[in-house]
Amino acid sequence: MTSLLINLSGLAAIALTVWWFWLAAKGNKQQSVSVDEKLEIQVKDGVYEPDRIRVSAGEETVLHFRREDASPCAEWVLFPDLEVSAQLGVDQITEVTIPAADAGEYPFHCQMQMYRGTLIVG
Amino acid sequence: MSDKSPASPQTFRLKGVSCAGCVKKIESALGDVPGVDDARVNLGDKTLVVQGSAAAQDCIAAVESAGYGAEEVRASARELREQQREDEQNHYRQLLWRAGIALGLGIPLMAWGLLTGEMGVHNTFQQMAWGSVGLLTLAVLIFCGGHFFTGAWRAFRHHSATMDTLVALGTGTAWLFSMLVVLVPQLLPESARHVYFEASAMIIGLINLGQALEVRARGRTSAAVEKLLQLQDANARVVRDGDEVDIPIEQVQVGDTLRVRPGEKIPVDGSVVEGESLVDESMLTGEPLPVKKASGDALTAGTLNKNGSLLFKAEKVGADTRLSQIIQMVKNAQSSRVPIARLADTISAIFVPSVMIIAVVAALVWYNLGPDPKVAHMLVVLTSVLIIACPCALGLATPMSVMVGVGKGAENGVLVRNGKALQQATGLDTLVVDKTGTLTEGAPKLTDIESDSDTDTLLQQLASLESRSEHPLAEAIVSAAKEKNLSLSEVTGFEAITAHGVSGDVDGKKVLLGNRKLMQREGIDSGRWHKQAESLAEQGRTAMYAAVDGAVAGVIAVADPIRKDAQAAVQRLKKLGLRIEMLTGDNKATAEAVARQLGIDHVHADLLPEDKEKIVADLQKGGAKVGMAGDGINDAPALARADVGFAIGAGTDVAIESADVTLMRSSLHGVADAVELSRATLRNIKQNLFGAFIYNTLGIPIAAGVFYPITGMLLSPVIAGAAMAFSSVTVVSNANRLRFFNPSHNSSADNGGKK
Ligand SMILES: [Cu+2]
């Protein structure tokens, strides 16, 4: 009886992991936030919030990052495909200028790739 | 970084502000300060922004009179860095504290377990005792490891999983299971009534310790940018209304006149108005010898004024200075992607959820097939796999090495544009080099003068004659005379004979200078001088006959001299396995003479600028990985076409932006330095990736218990925690080893300079 319960909960945990981190995460990708003057991207507790940011194609944009996490992981934000990077000060707003880019999705992340986000240019 | 003239807004950091009431008080206090147009407090980040012409001191005084504290925020790159370093220090101390407290609980617990073996719950007393230990552990988890849990939770809500997720799951599982044992031991088989509080506490402690060590090692990793930032001075001495005043460097504006005294650093970019001095530019160019600067010469921020006092006009300030651009470029390159990192990227994106699944599968296998005590084994395996699998080290492997490598390059005057260029430079097998300005000095010089009589007299006569000519070779002769302090005479009857030479009367004598055809035309027998001229031409020099009053007086030769260090650099590049091909617009004879002296086997002469690009493309079609070294503007298409373009000695803004690698020094040694450095960096990256992969790929099966049948032992979660924490430390330390990289050739040594 106990053994059945443990095995079942194990399998349930696997199913949940697959669903939540992969399947649901993909379904969730429609939600994104457009950039405006007031938008602050919080860098805190392992995530960017919001982590899907929409900007217009062919226009230079400025993103405002506010880092609240002192852990070294959060120190840099990198947009590798756009060759943009910035060092974020703790408890400060750092402006990151994104050059005009073609439409598409550009991932951004911290040095260790723990913090992850997507820049949607369209 | 921007100019902070009194008209632009000033920002202050506030202390003691906590509510909307404080905001009102401060804003009204500032309303009374003369010159304040608008004052706004941001409660969120505790800052105050003041518009208007009010002095900073008055604003601070007003805030203080309202009962709060304020300090001016000056966002210069250096101050930002200083603050970051302070934050880093605080974080380091905080991590050490957390590690100390957690280990302070974990180590005695573990010692107790090892010495007495009594970690089980079999009676009420043990229930009480372990229950209180459990609460103590909970306190440690919250105080020392709370950030793992909040991080894991926030990431979870975003459908993402991070290192925090693994740590939180691992330690959380161990604690929950142990609490279950304490509260309801009767539910579990006798053999599994064992608590794992020490594992939770130890893991939290070790991971904090690992992160602390990492923070410290990282600080050292970024030393290169720090060094560049330290080149910037905090103050500049501006001449205003005849007075010299010290002002913060942020306030210097374009057009200001500044004074630099001996031993001081040049604060901003500009050009000399008055005075003469030697300026040491080695910190930017790697060129060890100081450069003489006089009126009109350009000065670069960050370089050192050695012996004279200079008055100069600011032309570029703040983020526009070359130093700032270099710093920015180094920073960007340091964090750009290296193609080799793609593998690590892909892996870390799917890593954490995969590890969670592996952990559960392994746990189930142990539960169903493993020996007794099954529950305990299941838990140990689950926790160990989760803990050991953190992919942090993998993510760090490339950025850490690139950071050190690119910074090291900047120290040696080699500016790498991005990680891709760094990687491509390692695989080059062919280097095409533009001759003029790279292998040679780029300006023709008088190399030989031979005469029956006094050579100075002849030189004086020829220089006088040539001072009227506009031929590029004429300048070489005139400046050779000037160097010898010969005074030039008046020339009458000057005539330039196309494709032959020049003639004229100097001090009553008829002087001719030109080629053999000119001598024949004038009916002068070149006689024994002919052989002399031939041998000079064979050496790649342009030889000319000089005749005075109808008889040959001697021969002179002009050439673009080979750079002093070119031969050594070519040898070094060959040793690095590069095939060197020379490109030049010059004629074949001259080109081949230069190539012969330098030991270059392949020469392409008589080229037009567009031909250079075609040659690079042809080589690439043949499968070669081509590097191109040239001095910038006219070589731009070829530089862009090459796999790696090295802009030599340019240092102009355009070149910095367009070349893959910019060499601040006009020497081919820079190319060799760049190749050596990139190879060292890539080797370091590979070591790091290997190290990180080993931790993760070997770590997981070991934690899952594949060695159990052989050793009869499972990996303790504590060991897993330690291994995980130190994998990142290993990677960062290995990357730090790159700091000791030195190019195989020390250019300062052969110029007699010291660094
Ligand atoms: Cu991390």
Question: For B86, which residue in chain A has the nearest alpha carbon?
Answer: A90
Count Cβ atoms within 10 A of the Cβ of residue B5 and give its class: 0-12 exposed, 13-18 middle, 19 or more buried: exposed
Cα B129 from Cα B61, distance rounded (Å) = 58
Q: What residues in B contact A13, CB-CB < 8 Å?
A: 356, 360
Task: Identify the pLDDT of residue B682.
Answer: 92
CA dihedral A113, A117, B1, B5 (to 10 degrees): -160
Nearest to B704 by CA among B355, B189, B394, B373: B355
Q: Which residues of A touch B151 (CB under 8 A)?
A: 45-47, 69
Which residue, B423, B436, B431, is CA-closest to B605? B436
pLDDT at B179 over 80: yes
* Tokens of residue A21, six digits: 């981190």
Contact assessment for residue B88 and residue B220, using Cβ atoms and an 8 Å cutoff: no
Q: Which residues of B are catalytically annotated?
A: 434
B317 vs chain A: nearest CA distance in angstroms?
20
Which candidate from A69, A72, A85 shows the least CB-CB separation from B218? A72
Would you give the DSSP letter of residue B440?
A: B
pTM (predicted TM-score): 0.76
Joined tokens for residue B520:
């024949």
Q: What is the band of B707 on the pLDDT scale with cuts at 50, 70, 90?
A: confident
Q: Give the largest Cα separation in chain A, rounded.
A: 63
Chain A residues with CB inside 8 Å of B336's CB? 78, 80, 83, 85
Report the pLDDT value the prediction gives residue B5, as an integer from 0 to 100: 38
Convert the pLDDT of each residue in B512-565 to its tens digit. 888 888 888 888 887 778 888 888 877 777 788 888 888 888 888 888 788 888
Count contacts between A and B (CB, < 8 Å).
134
Asked whether the CA dihedral B492, B493, B496, B497 is positive or negative, the reply is negative
Q: Is A22–B353 a contact, with Cβ atoms under 8 angstroms apart?
A: yes
Classify each residue of B144-157 as buried b or exposed e, where b means 16 or more C-beta atoms within 10 Å of its C-beta.
bbebbbbbbebbbe
Who among B84, B348, B363 is closest to A113 (CB)? Answer: B348
User: How many Å apart are CA B381 and CA B595, to the nearest integer?
Assistant: 68
CA distance B382 to B360: 6
- Helical residues (DSSP H) of B117-186, grouped into ranges: 124-157, 163-183
CB contact under 8 A, B334 and A18: no
Q: Smallest Cβ distance to B395: which of A21, A84, A112?
A: A112
Distance B740 CA to ligand 1 centre (A): 26
What is the average pLDDT across B361-376? 81
The number of angstroms, rounded, from the C-alpha of A119 to the middle of its chain's C-alpha atoms is: 8
In this predicted model, what pLDDT tens digit does every residue of A8-60 receive, in sequence order? 888 998 888 888 887 776 665 556 777 776 788 888 877 888 888 888 888 88
Does B87 touch chain A if contact means CB atoms closer than 8 Å?
yes
Residue of B681 and B29 predicted with greater confidence = B681
Q: What's the CA-to-centroid distance between A73 and ligand 1, angstroms? A: 5
CA end-to-end span of chain B, whole Å?
30
Alpha carbon distance B232, B245 (integer Å): 18
Nearest chain B residue (CA) to A75:
B84
Place of tokens 């010290």: B246
Written as six digits, the tokens of B384 are 């160990």
Encoded tokens for B364:
């189930």
B-chain residue closest to A44, CA distance: B151
**Residue B272 alpha carbon to ligand 1 centre in Å:** 49
Residue that wins the pLDDT comparison between B482 and B752: B482
Please, what is the Cα angle at B489 between B484 and B493, to 5 degrees?
135
Helix H segments across chain A? 2-17, 24-27
**Residue A89 confidence (pLDDT) above 70:** yes
Structure tokens at B503: 């003639």
Question: Do residues B585 and B607 touch, judged by C-beta distance below 8 A?
Answer: yes
Q: What percent of chain A has pLDDT over 90?
A: 0
Tokens of B581: 């091909």
Give every CB contact of residue B521 below 8 A, 6+ residues apart in sequence.
B497, B500
- Write out chain A residues lying below 8 Å of B215, CB-based: 72
Average pLDDT, chain B: 81
Pairing status of strand A52-55 against strand A33-34 = parallel
d(CA B381, CA B384): 5
Residues in the 5 Å CB sphere of ion ligand 1: A 73, 112, 114; B 163, 392
pLDDT per residue over B239-295, tens digit each?
887 788 888 887 788 888 888 888 888 888 888 988 888 888 877 776 667 888 888
pLDDT, average across residues B104-132: 81
- Measured between CA atoms, the residue of chain A closest to residue B95 is A71
pLDDT at position B747: 54
> Can you give the pLDDT at residue B545?
86
**For residues B139-167, average pLDDT:** 84
Chain A CB contacts of B154 below 8 Å? 44-47, 49
Structure tokens belonging to residue B477:
């002769």
Q: Does B94 touch chain A (CB under 8 A)?
A: yes
Residue B676: pLDDT over 90 = yes
Q: Do B26 and B41 contact (CB within 8 A), yes or no?
A: yes
**Searching chain B, which residue's CA lies closest to the CA of residue A23?**
B159
- What residues contact A85, with CB distance under 8 A and at least 6 apart? A76, A77, A78, A79, B331, B332, B334, B335, B336
Distance of CA A116 to the CA centre of its chain: 3
- Please give the Cα distance from B285 to B306 (Å, whole number): 16
Kindly report the CA angle at B140 between B138 and B143, in degrees rounded to 5? 110
Contact A46 B164 (CB under 8 A): yes
DSSP state of B190: G
| C-beta of residue B510 within 8 angstroms of C-beta of residue B549 | yes
Looking at the partner chain, which of A17, A66, A84 has a beta carbon nearest the beta carbon of B356?
A: A17
Q: What is the mean pLDDT of residues B214-236?
A: 78
Mean pLDDT computed over B672-692? 91
Indicate yes or no: CB of A76 within 8 angstroms of CB of B335: yes
pLDDT above 60 for B651: no
**Can you read off the two tokens belonging to residue B289?**
């010898």
Q: What is the per-residue pLDDT for B73?
A: 65
Partner residue facing B154 (CB), from A14, A46, A116: A46
Does B364 touch chain A if contact means CB atoms closer than 8 Å?
A: yes
Rounded Cα distance, A26 and A47, in Å: 17
Indicate the range of A64-68, B21-25, B197-201, B458-462 predicted with least confidence: B21-25
Contact in structure between B731 and B692 (CB atoms under 8 Å)? yes
Is the CB of B360 less than 8 angstroms away from the CB of A10? yes
- For B342, the closest chain A residue by CA position comes to A80
Whether the CB of B361 is below 8 Å from some CB of chain A: the reply is yes
Nearest residue to B430 via CA among B638, B664, B590, B662: B638
- With CB atoms and an 8 Å threshold, state whether A72 touches B336: no
* pLDDT on residue B683: 93
Q: What is the ipTM of this complex?
A: 0.81
Spacing, Cα A34 to ligand 1 middle (Å): 27
Closest CA–CA distance from residue A63 to any residue of chain B (Å): 17
The label of the residue with tokens 């899907």 reads: A52
Partner-chain contact A51 B392, CB within 8 Å: no
Phi first, then psi: what are they for B117, rounded to 5°? 70, 10
| Residue B67 reports pLDDT greater than 80 | no
B629 contacts B570 by C-beta, under 8 angstroms: no
B679 band by pLDDT with thresholds 50, 70 and 90: very high
Mean pLDDT of chain A: 81
pLDDT for B97: 92
Quote the ligand 1 centre to B152 CA distance (angstroms).
11
Given CA atoms B451, B457, B460, B461 in this order, what sign does their dihedral have? negative
**In the structure encoding, which two tokens stand for residue B647, read together?**
């802009």
Tell me the one-letter amino acid at B24. Answer: K
pLDDT of residue B675: 93
Q: What is the SS3 assignment for B642? A: coil
Maximum alpha-carbon separation in chain B: 127
pLDDT of residue B386: 83
- In the reported structure, the alpha carbon of residue B344 is separated from the centroid of ligand 1 by a whole-number distance in angstroms of 14
Give B-chain residues touching A80 at CB under 8 angstroms: 336-337
CA of residue B402 to ligand 1 center, whole Å: 18
**Residues of chain B positioned with their CB less than 8 A from the CB of A116:** 160, 349
Could you tell me the distance, in angstroms and rounded to a whole number, from the CA of residue B729 to the centre of ligand 1?
12
Element (H, E) at B474: helix B472-483
Instruction: Flag whether residue B421 sits within 8 Å of chain A, measured between CB atoms.
Output: no
